Amino acid sequence: MQLIVGLVSGVIFGLGLSISGMLNPVKVSAFLDLAGAWDPSLAFVMGGGLIVNILAMLVLKKRTKPFFAERFSLPQSKVIDRPLLGGAALFGIGWALGGLCPGPAIASLAYLSGDALMFFIPMLVGLYSARFIFSKI
C-alpha cells in the first residue's frame, strides 16, 4: 500500500508542478528577478501548497499514526546550524543559476531531453557528496 501511496502522491506532485509553471526555468528566473520584469506567480504556488497542507495538518492533528505506517516520521533536529544555512544558501545560488529545484528536475526527465539529464545527474552527484562534507562543517 505504501508503494501505491508513493506513486499517487508522486503523480499529483508532478502534475501540480506541471500546472504551476515550476518546470519552466524562464518563469522561475522571472520570479527571482525582483529588479527586472518581475513575475510573482510562483509565490502563489507556495501559497496554494501551504494552504492545502496546513489544512491537512490540522485535520490530521488528532491521529497518532498514519494510515499505512507505524509512525509519522518527522525530522528530529531543531537547531539552526551551519549545514542548514550553508546548504540553503548554496541551493538558492544553484536554483537561480539553473532555474530548476529538485522536484522540477525530476519531473523534467519526462521530456527525455539532454538538458534535463545535464541537470539531474550532477544533482545526484551533489546529493550523494553532501554527506561527506556534512560532518566537516
Partner 1 sequence: MIDIDNFTPLTALVGGGLIGLAAAILYAFNGRVLGASGITASALEGVVHPAAGEGLSWRVAFLVGVIIGPAVYMLMTGALPQSDYIAQDGRLVIAGLIVGLGTGLGSGCTSGHGICGLARFSKRSLAAVITFMATGFITTFVINHLVGL
Binding to partner 1 (CB under 8 A) within 8-47 occurs at 8-27, 29-30, 32-47
Q: Confirm if 122 and 41 have CB atoms less than 8 A apart.
A: no
Min dist. Cβ of residue 132 to partner 1 (A): 10
Q: Does residue 78 touch partner 1 according to CB under 8 A?
A: yes
- Minimum Å distance from CB 42 to partner 1? 6
Nearest to 111 by CA among 9, 18, 30: 18
4 near partner 1, judged by CB under 8 A: yes
For partner 1, the binding residues in 90-109 under the rule CB under 8 A are 90-103, 105-109
